Amino acid sequence: MDLNKHTNATTLLEKHFDIAFAAPDGIKKLRELILSLAMQGKLVPQDPSDQPASELLKEIEAEKERLIKEGKIKKSQPLPEIKPDEIPYDLPNSWEWVRIEQLVSKIGSGSTPRGGKDAYEIEGIPFLRSQNIWNNEIRLDDVAFISEETHRKMIATKVISMDILLNITGASLGRCAIVPDDFAEANVSQHVTIIRCVNPEIRRFIHCLLLSPYGQSMIWSRQVGMSREGLSKKVLEQFQIPLPPLAEQRRLIAKIDELMARCDELERLRSDRDRKQITVHNSALNRLIIAKDQSDFNTAWQFITQHFSELYSVKENVTELRKAILQLAVMGKLVPQDPNDQPASELLKEIEKEKERLVKEGKIKKSQPLPKIKLDEVPYNLPTSWEWTNLQDLFAVVTDGDHQAPPKVDDGIPFLVIGNLNTGKVTWENCRFVPHDYYESIDWGRKPSKNDILYTVTGSYGIPIFIDSNRKFCVQRHVAILKSVESSPTEYITHLLKSKYAFNYATSVATGIAQKTVPLSGLRRMPIAVPPMNEQHRIVAKIDQLMALCDNIEKQIDTANSKQTNLLNAVMTKV
């Protein structure tokens, strides 16, 4: 390789570190670039005094012949020569393109012990599965064990030190680790293949190659199987490997280790920076929420405005800001109170009158009054014009969908389940349908309509959906229906149900272990901070304004990140 070309590549690579630090996935791309340069012979200069790779290959072939004669390995089938159209890029003169099978004494996956999981023991010989194999390390925190007897029966799957272990199926396809020199005995499952190099010294280079973009592209593009991705032994054996001289491999590995250590340091610095930003921001938001008076509130807000660009350079902080906006709203701290507003107590009286009218019309049954909310039950103090009340008191009825399995038809009235609602909006695609006469038989209170609120109560619980459409539909029993009257503060309550306070309350009353459910009795008792109606309008308008601001901040973050990524990509193409 031309020394000037190598120097230019190294210089540009050095410049990448600052740019990579700023780009969202810059450090990941930098690691990929380091390995790509290494596999192309561009990371370190070639030394004309190095013994060429062709000689290394002869030594490996001679050693394989010796192992075959001694009966330690079997002679493999002849491999096809590497054709010119199989060569993805040119190599330095001292390198060689070879099949990976030419370099190894073993390529083979493991197997499942007889009896499957029933064969696992509390202790014994480690049985390595795909979840134990990670890039650069073997993790034993979730390792299974097999007995000595099972281990002896599975001798073909035995792992020894310096083996390369490669995941060959599933989502972890391509994860790759080297067995440490001091590793004791182990076996592997059928989802892991063992690659054992004839010359153990080349294992580090082969490992880096398999982790490189070139190696990963071979692994992912040549997988087989319809139901679950997989990499067959026959395909793996024929991988084309760029083989450098052994002396250059040593220099390459030393350089890779040096540069990867710098990447590790960059990741640590970025993690520390982001953690500090998030910690400082959360502390500032907490000061807003617990502010005892307007002076404390103004001081906390002034800190945020002074450091706005720093605090909102990460999306995690924007997410927390959204939560804080809702929390401040339900505590009466988002907009000022107006002494001319009709107090919330008058609104509650109006709702009660409308509910009494529905009882007389036979649309709903008179509900049992819930106990008044006591002072020791309220989570925070409210402005004097606000009132604490139960959620049930704000709606005609708080109920859920039909408990019986409805009849199905190809076309009719939509029947919505949790999956149609768990994004926070109604998704009509792929919904079921019920007959029109079935829909008409449902009680008025169980027919959601415009200005009602749906609220998921099972599994993905705690998601409110405001209904702004006149479209007819019904819901399953895992969805609560907050049936409104004309005076019900539905827009404000929708925002309140999205708040951290409401979610924490729902979590506190939820029952079940595998799948949590918010019982209707607990939902009806949720203490609600009710503002005067005029203040509700101001709160909703302010929330909408601030959420739009959050949307813009996230767009700005995406734009800034995109610019940094484009800059990094532009520089990387020059290497």
Q: Residue 56: its pLDDT value, please? A: 96
Residue (of 222, 249, 246) closest to 166 by Cα position:
222
146-168 pLDDT, tens digit each: 999 999 999 999 999 999 999 99
**134: which strand partners?**
137
Measuring CA to CA, how many Å separate 287 from each of 284, 295, 545?
5, 11, 22
Distance CA(279)–CA(285), nearest Å, equals: 10
pLDDT of residue 1: 43
Torsion over CA of 469, 534, 540 and 543, rounded to 10 degrees?
Answer: 170
Residue ranges of the alpha helices (H) in 290-343? 294-306, 308-311, 315-330
Length of the chain: 575
pTM: 0.73
DSSP code of residue 142: T
The pLDDT, as a whole number, for residue 3 is 45
d(Cα 71, Cα 69) in Å, to the nearest integer?
Answer: 5
Closest CA to 410 of 426, 432, 393: 432
CB 212 within 8 A of CB 38: yes
Tokens of 96: 């060689």
SS3 content of the chain, % helix, strand, coil (to 5): 50, 15, 35
Give the pLDDT confidence score for residue 458 in this predicted structure. 92
> Looking at beta carbons, which pairs linking 430-437 to residues 24 or more positions away fall under 8 Å?
432/406, 432/408, 433/408, 433/409, 434/406, 434/407, 434/408, 434/409, 434/474, 435/407, 435/409, 436/412
User: Residue 2's pLDDT band (boundaries 50, 70, 90)?
Assistant: very low
From the CA atom positions of the chain, what is the Rg in Å?
A: 33
Tell me how far apart the alpha carbons of residues 160 and 437 are, in angstroms, rounded to a whole number: 70
Please give the pLDDT value at position 284: 87
* CA atoms 524, 526, 527, 532: torsion sign: negative
pLDDT above 90 (res 114)? no
Contact assessment for residue 38 and residue 256, using Cβ atoms and an 8 Å cutoff: yes
Cβ contact 30:72 at 8 Å: no
Summarize pLDDT for 183-226 with one digit per residue, the tens: 888 999 999 999 999 999 999 999 999 999 999 999 998 765 54
Side-chain half-sphere of 164: how many Cα atoms within 13 Å? 29
Kindly report, residue by residue over 346-399, the tens digit of the pLDDT.
999 999 999 999 999 988 888 888 888 888 888 888 999 999 999 999 999 999
Domain annotation for the chain: domains and CATH numbers: 1-35+264-341+534-575 (no CATH), 51-244 (3.90.220.20), 363-531 (3.90.220.20)
Which ranges of 130-245 does DSSP label H, i.e. alpha helix?
Answer: 148-153, 203-211, 213-221, 233-237
Element (H, E) at 193: strand 192-197
Sequence-distant contacts of 537-544: CB under 8 A, at least 24 apart = 538/335, 539/329, 539/334, 539/335, 539/492, 539/495, 540/491, 540/492, 540/495, 542/329, 542/334, 542/335, 543/325, 543/326, 543/329, 543/334, 543/495
Q: What is the pLDDT of residue 227?
A: 43
Dist CA 419 CA 405 (whole Å): 16
Mean pLDDT, the chain, rounded, equals: 89
